[in-house]
Amino acid sequence: MRADTQTPGQTADVTPAQVLAEAGRRRTIAVISHPDAGKSTLTEALALHSNALREAGHVHGKAGHAGVVSDWQDMEKQRGISISSAVLQLSHRDQVVNVVDTPGHADFSEDTYRALTAVDAVIMLIDAARGMEVQTRKLFAVCKERGLPVITVVNKWDRPGREALELLDEVESVTGLRPTPMTWPVGIAGDFRGLLERGTGAYVKYTKAPGGATRALEDRMNAQQAAEAEGVAWQQSVEEHELLSATGADHDEEEFLAFRTTPVYFTAAVANVGVGQVLDAIIDVAPAPHDQLDVAGRTQALTANFSAQVFKTQTGMNPAHRDRLAFARVQTGVFHRGMTVRDNRSGRPMVLKHVQTVFGADRSTVDVAWPGDVIGLVNARHVNVGDTLSEAGKIAYPPLPVFAPEHFRTVRPADLSFGKQFRQGLRELDAEGVVRVLTSDSRGDGEPVLSAVGVLQFDVVQHRMTHEYRSAVVFGELPFSTARIIDPADAPVVRGHRGTEVVSNAEGRFFALFTDEWRVRSFERDNPGVKLQELVVTSN
């Protein structure tokens, strides 16, 4: 029996050829950039062009419009920024596209880095006026380390910006990848007439739909018609296109997959211009899922038994039920609802009955999933980020990135009568990785310590504790800026050192908090027998 017609709980009768065919139909890609380059807007526009949406709400709820579907949390809608990665599953040309929209702000970079472990390629979005910004450069470095092929999209070409060739030079100097434009703008930044498709030589002229909520109208022309319609602007675009070809800046798939080139597209995502070509590129250019290496360095073939890795957990997606969703990327084999798997960390068996696919905050039950798909496990509360789930139960994929916190605050409920909600909220936010919740003997459970990579994480805690868990919180400042892992037996020595505090997390791991790096070096000098282990792990 085919897997897509089976009833829940049945063993899937699936051949290796079927697994390979279904994996070949899938593309799993993340969108990365510096804040405010338009990631969520592009994600929304991709959904619109795949007919997953009838209208795009690209302006974050302003002027009466709906917010983007991937920014579903209240705080995201209010502030107009992404604070958590979101997943959309789209269908285009009989292919399945799994898009992970990631936060751009550095304070939420741990969430972004973990999302990058669940994809096979990335779209690197850059602002036509600002080019390669700081956070984009940092995220590109992670892509380079992981060998993730990069598709570059120059966004906001409908606004004043820099010259196209200048931006290509910057991309190459920063990334070391040779840009190979697939589309080329007709008209300078701020005067976006349309696109020259370099592969066909055709011109696509766009007319923005009212409000930009639907797809822009397209008028395809040949070279002669384009020259008559656009005159000097078309001639300049053709000359630049010919210059690119003369210098070898044409797309080569092998070079792209070998991480030596990056195809480039130009868009005005807010007006839904140039987005269709990007969606086609995900199908035509981005790689399909492939065999994976486990933590021991062994190859896990796509056709092996089912395995998946959890890269994110999220609560509050369904406020009526307060459930928790664990997002897992299917690495090998086929998932079918009702199957039994084991968690490699705990060894516990799980029957996967309640599994869903997601589209922003909207969810639907999934019966079958294939390599590359992202599935959501409902209320799998004993599953942690980084866990591997598999039929064999003995597979473990490499651990996910962990970031060293730089900010610490105490937290307590504003109203002690809401203590139960306070404890539940912190427990769930800790499991999501919104912040890390730590306790110390000196402070007790009533006033735990929160650690974060960036201060905006505390704003998220304040907002969600108040609005989701109905327990407003009060923060207290702490002087610490760095942490080290320590052996529990060394805790008394650390407590006796000036300017330090000992805390532990829910897993029983102990940490020493120091005011600064000078205090760390001072402690190490005075206590050579105590081992301090750094927390920084930024890649697999």
- The pLDDT tens digits for 370-381 are 999 999 898 887
CA separation (Å) from 484 to 269, 297, 517, 519, 534?
A: 43, 28, 11, 12, 5
Please compute the mean of the pLDDT values over residues 302-307 and round it to a whole number. Answer: 96
Q: Residue 115: which pLDDT band, with cuts at 50, 70 and 90?
A: confident
The pLDDT tens digits for 482-516 are 999 999 999 999 998 888 999 998 878 899 999 99
Q: Which helix (H) or strand (E) holds 350?
A: strand 349-351
Q: How far apart are CA 501 and CA 433, in angstroms?
A: 22
212 closest CA partner among 364, 48, 396: 48
Q: How far apart are CA 77 and CA 66, in angstroms?
A: 9
User: Measured on CA atoms in the order 320, 321, 326, 331, is the torsion positive or negative?
Assistant: negative
395 closest CA partner among 291, 287, 509, 536: 291
Q: Residue 316: which pLDDT band, with cuts at 50, 70 and 90?
A: low
Q: How far apart are CA 322 and CA 404, in angstroms?
A: 29
Lowest mean pLDDT among 110-114, 270-274, 420-424: 110-114
User: Measured on CA atoms in the order 436, 437, 438, 442, is the torsion positive or negative?
Assistant: positive
- 306 pLDDT above the threshold of 70: yes
Domains of the chain: 30-85+102-284 (3.40.50.300), 292-390 (2.40.30.10), 407-526 (3.30.70.3280)
The residue written with tokens 């890609």 in the block is 29
Please compute the mean of the pLDDT values over residues 185-214 and round it to a whole number. Answer: 90
Q: Residue 322: which pLDDT band, with cuts at 50, 70 and 90?
A: low
Tokens of 317: 């997606």
Residue 243: the pLDDT is 96
Tokens of 80: 């107009």
Q: Residue 393: which pLDDT band, with cuts at 50, 70 and 90?
A: confident
Q: How far apart are CA 188 and CA 452, in angstroms?
A: 42
The residue written with tokens 């805690």 in the block is 461
Please compute the mean of the pLDDT values over residues 45-71 and round it to a whole number. Answer: 57
pTM of the model: 0.80
Terminal C-alpha separation, the chain: 38
User: Is residue 274 within 8 Å of 267, Cβ to Cβ?
Assistant: yes
Q: Residue 81: which pLDDT band, with cuts at 50, 70 and 90?
A: very low
Q: How far apart are CA 373 and CA 79, in angstroms?
A: 30
Q: How far apart are CA 125 and CA 156, in angstroms?
A: 10
Please compute the mean of the pLDDT values over residues 189-207 and round it to a whole number. Answer: 95
Lowest mean pLDDT among 233-242, 274-283, 441-450: 441-450
Q: How far apart are CA 43 and CA 384, in angstroms?
A: 27
- 362 pLDDT above the threshold of 90: no
Give me the percent of the chain exceeding a pLDDT of 90: 56
Write phi, then psi, for 534 (nearest 5 degrees): -70, 150
Q: Residue 315: which pLDDT band, with cuts at 50, 70 and 90?
A: confident
Q: How many CB atoms lie within 10 A of CB 416?
A: 10
- 128 pLDDT above the threshold of 70: yes
Residue 67: the pLDDT is 45
Residue 231: the pLDDT is 96
The pLDDT tens digits for 453-486 are 878 888 888 988 898 888 999 999 999 999 999 9
Lowest mean pLDDT among 61-65, 93-97, 219-223: 61-65
Lowest mean pLDDT among 44-58, 139-153, 297-311, 441-455: 44-58
